[in-house]
Amino acid sequence: MKHIAIRSDYRRQGIGREMINEYIKKNEINKMIAETHKDAVNFYKNIGFEIMSLGEKYPGVERFQCTLPMNKIM
């Protein structure tokens, strides 16, 4: 999966979680790693990803690595 985004008026309805769940099932994923910005960290955290700051990857932009370990695969 390269990119995931949900239109703002459709957020908080479980669509993003379901997209990730379906991708994991179809592709037999045993660990998922995502890189994101500060605004999306809570989404990943709320569905079980562990969050680690990558620091300021670009000038003025902090990036985060979000990892969903095998024992938390939905």
pLDDT at 63 over 90: yes
CB count in 10 Å sphere of residue 49: 22
**Percent of the residues in the chain that have a pLDDT greater than 70, as a whole number:** 95
Q: How far is residue 66 CA from its own chain's centroid?
A: 6
pLDDT at 74: 57
CB count in 10 Å sphere of residue 16: 19
Band of pLDDT at residue 2, cut at 50, 70 and 90: confident
How far is 29 from 27, CA to CA, in rounded Å?
5
CB count in 10 Å sphere of residue 66: 20
Average pLDDT, the chain: 89
Band of pLDDT at residue 73, cut at 50, 70 and 90: low
Query: What does the block give as tokens for 34?
Result: 């995502």
